[in-house]
Amino acid sequence: MMNKKGFTLIELLVTIALMISILGIAIVNFITISNNKKEASWKEVQNQMKVAAQNYFETNEYLLSGKDSATVSLGMLVSEDYLNVVTNPVTGKKLNKCSYVSVVKDKENGGYNYEYKDSNAITCPQEGYIVLQEAGAPKIDVFMSDNPTGNNSWYVKDVKAKATVSTNNNGPIKEVKYCTSTSKECNNYTNLTLTKDNKYSASTTDGINYATFIATNSSGKSAVGYISYKKDTVNPICSSNTGTTIWTNKDRKITWTCNDTTSGCEKNEYNKTFKTDAKTGTIDIKDNAGNTNTCNANVYVDKTKPTCTMSLEGTVGNKVNGTQWYKSDVIINSTPNDKGGSGIDKYGLATSKNSTNETKSVTQTKETKSITYYGYVKDNAGNENSCSAKFGLEKEVTLTFNVNKTNSTKSYNPNNKSNGEAVFKSNIENVCGFGTCSNINCKTDENKTKSCPKDYFARSCMYVNEYYRYFDVQAISYNNGISTTVKADGESPTYGMKRVESVLRYNTNGENYENTELFKDPYYYQIVGNNSGGRSAFTAHNYQFTSPAGNKSNPIRLYVEYVGYCGY
């Protein structure tokens, strides 16, 4: 059997150390190769910048005419499209646009030598600069008074172009001139006042311009400095679009166009969709420099439904099964209102829906079990809404004594009519005492006329212990408006029927009722004859019906006379 052996600990440690050494050498070699490549790339970038400067001056050869040296910034080469934005491959950062390519005339071999120079300047011309010098000329540096404050390297406020001039040991400065132009060629120069510190400042104008400074010394030698800058201090202009004056209840999209003759508009069209109620609206437009303006337009959006409010005027009764009853003529009012801003277009009030009769108030005079009035409203944007009011109207309750049904109860039968409604007589003879029932008279006034009030009835003789009275009731809120007969037993009220008064009148000493103070009530009946027939007392009952709506009927007075022959 063979023995299987593994690596010893020492062997493993030696192996790991060898691997780490090999890996470290590989990493160092990789970093070295990488850095070498970056340095080679950086040299190539510098060559590209020098070539760009050479192409620039070859294209603009007049700039170097008669000049011994020049400086052109990377910013100028980029702005003039001779060079793309440059990144240093070693640091990975963009180059400062104030870095430049130095151009020096080669006096021995002819032509010019180009060399890239780094700059750490914090403030430099916005787009770029060029400095050109003759041999024996002053030295000039050009710059802007401030950094750009707008978008895309635009100035959006007043800014000064500045130059610093020195003699460069070539004699005193004779004059400094200044001009602005859309090109590097100026025609209308302005003389600047010489200053002790040789720092000059001049105004700039809107647009993409060059500010040019020319410094000349007493020997007639000059140095020229060009600054390229972009300045736009004017807000963009809104289009003449004023929107619409036609209302809608949907989203509305409004389009504005933008006009800016300096930096140009960020967008040619600006759209905004209005989704909420608004009569007018605004939108902000912007130019490429960052200047803004607020455009106004008519929006006319109204998505809110108008409302109508119902109100009822009249004598309020009871509420029954969800229906509010009134006891007098009802005035129905509907008030339309628009909250969205478009205004009311149409409205109406009727017992049918969506009426546009332009009525705001009606009066219900006819009794009804239930009626609904509808208010309608529509605004100018097309939104619609409605409201309603439901009620019942009962102005009168009629209560009449049911003679036929009462007479057919027990042993009572009609006898005859006497000045009023009915006279009752038992089947027992002589119940009216000494004399006939025709002796019964109504006493309605001092003249004792025989014309009885219709709602009051003649006496009846109580023959048995139970005597039922029946009434016919007509009330639109009761029994679905159908006339029905209601029983009143004289003591316990049924639905809506109540005994509202009971008066017991009797004689214990044989006096005639007509001579008593109590008998002066004109609505009690006069009793004739004497007492000997057994007539001892009678009772007057007043009955009244109250409908579910709350109306009360006319009161009806019934008399019950107790006589011996009736069983008492």
Say what the pLDDT of residue 104 is.
Answer: 92
* DSSP, res 315: -
- Whole-number Å distance between alpha carbons of 413 and 548: 34
Report the number of distinct structural domains present in the chain. 4
More confident of the two residues 121 and 85 = 85
| Of 219, 225, 226, 224, the residue nearest 136 (C-alpha) | 219
Same domain for 345 and 243, yes or no, is: no
Same domain for 106 and 198, yes or no, is: yes
Query: Is there a domain that residue 12 lies in?
Result: no
Say what the pLDDT of residue 331 is.
Answer: 98
| Of 399, 555, 395, 394, the residue nearest 477 (C-alpha) | 394
Final residue belonging to a domain, choices 301, 330, 350: 301
Cβ(452)–Cβ(420) under 8 Å? Answer: yes
Q: Mean pLDDT over residues 517-535, rounded?
A: 39
Q: Which residue has the tokens 């002790």?
A: 196
Same domain for 356 and 244, yes or no, is: no
Handedness of CA 429, 433, 436, 442 (dihedral sign): negative
The two structure tokens encoding residue 359: 């009525």
Say what the pLDDT of residue 28 is.
Answer: 53
- Whole-number Å distance between alpha carbons of 94 and 537: 129
pLDDT tens track for 365-410: 999 999 999 999 999 999 999 999 999 999 999 888 776 676 543 3
Burial 500-509 (b: 16+ CB within 10 A, else e): eeeeebeeee
Cβ(97)–Cβ(128) under 8 Å? Answer: yes
Final residue belonging to a domain, choices 271, 301, 331: 301
Q: Mean pLDDT over residues 318-345, rounded?
A: 95
Query: Is there a domain that residue 110 lies in?
Result: yes
pLDDT tens track for 287-308: 999 999 999 989 999 999 999 9
Say what the pLDDT of residue 412 is.
Answer: 31
Cβ(549)–Cβ(448) under 8 Å? Answer: no
CB atoms within 10 A of CB 125: 26
Same domain for 404 and 544, yes or no, is: yes
Query: Is there a domain that residue 50 lies in?
Result: yes
CB atoms within 10 A of CB 76: 25
Handedness of CA 422, 427, 432, 438 (dihedral sign): positive
Same domain for 293 and 321, yes or no, is: no
Question: What's the domain range around 274?
Answer: 237-301
CB contact set of 179 (below 8 Å; sequence gap of 6+)? 186, 187, 188, 189, 190, 211, 212
Same domain for 438 and 327, yes or no, is: no
Say what the pLDDT of residue 166 is.
Answer: 93
Strands (E), 138-264: 139-144, 160-166, 173-181, 190-192, 199-203, 207-217, 222-231, 237-238, 252-259
CB contact set of 171 (below 8 Å; sequence gap of 6+)? 136, 217, 218, 219, 221
Q: Starting from the edge strand earliest in sequence, which strands make up the sheet with 252-259, in order?
A: 237-238, 252-259, 269-274
Query: Is there a domain that residue 178 lies in?
Result: yes
Same domain for 318 and 448, yes or no, is: no
Same domain for 444 and 546, yes or no, is: yes
CB contact set of 73 (below 8 Å; sequence gap of 6+)? 97, 98, 99, 100, 119, 124, 125, 128, 129, 130
Say what the pLDDT of residue 458 is.
Answer: 38
Does the pLDDT at position 163 exceed 70? yes
- Whole-number Å distance between alpha carbons of 258 and 238: 5
More confident of the two residues 139 and 500 = 139
Does the pLDDT at position 229 exceed 60? yes
Lowest mean pLDDT among 2-11, 207-216, 287-296, 316-325: 2-11
Say what the pLDDT of residue 40 is.
Answer: 77
Question: Tell me, what CATH number does 357's domain have?
Answer: 2.60.40.10
SS3 track for 396-447: CCEEEECHHHHHCCCCCEEEECCCCCCEEECCCCCCCCCCCHHHCECCCCCC
Same domain for 460 and 548, yes or no, is: yes
Start-end of H helices in 330-402: none
pLDDT tens track for 346-355: 999 999 999 9
Say what the pLDDT of residue 13 is.
Answer: 73
Does the pLDDT at position 464 exceed 50? no
Confidence band, pLDDT 50/70/90 cuts, at residue 48 = confident
Q: Are strands 361-364 and 456-461 parallel, antiparallel or unpaired?
A: unpaired
Final residue belonging to a domain, choices 266, 301, 336: 301
Query: Is there a domain that residue 154 lies in?
Result: yes
Same domain for 472 and 504, yes or no, is: yes
- Whole-number Å distance between alpha carbons of 277 and 306: 12
The two structure tokens encoding residue 182: 């859309």
pTM (2 decimals)?
0.65
Same domain for 253 and 161, yes or no, is: no
Query: Is there a domain that residue 125 lies in?
Result: yes
Does the pLDDT at position 417 exceed 80? no
Q: Starting from the edge strand earliest in sequence, which strands make up the sheet with 344-350, in order?
A: 316-320, 323-326, 384-393, 368-379, 344-350
Beta bridge partners of residue 69, listed in sequence order: 104, 133
Say what the pLDDT of residue 310 is.
Answer: 97
Does the pLDDT at position 135 exceed 60? yes
* DSSP of 44-82: HHHHHHHHHHHHHHHHTHHHHTT-SEEEEEHHHHHHTTS
The most confident of 403-412, 498-507, 538-547, by mean pLDDT? 538-547
Confidence band, pLDDT 50/70/90 cuts, at residue 24 = low
Query: Is there a domain that residue 225 lies in?
Result: yes
Query: Is there a domain that residue 1 lies in?
Result: no
Confidence band, pLDDT 50/70/90 cuts, at residue 416 = very low
The backbone torsions φ and ψ at residue 212, rounded to the nearest 5 degrees and listed phi first, read: -120, 130
- Whole-number Å distance between alpha carbons of 243 and 21: 78
The mean predicted confidence, pLDDT, of the chain is 78
Same domain for 357 and 412, yes or no, is: no
More confident of the two residues 121 and 545 = 545
Handedness of CA 73, 74, 78, 82 (dihedral sign): positive
Q: Mean pLDDT over residues 270-298, rounded?
A: 94
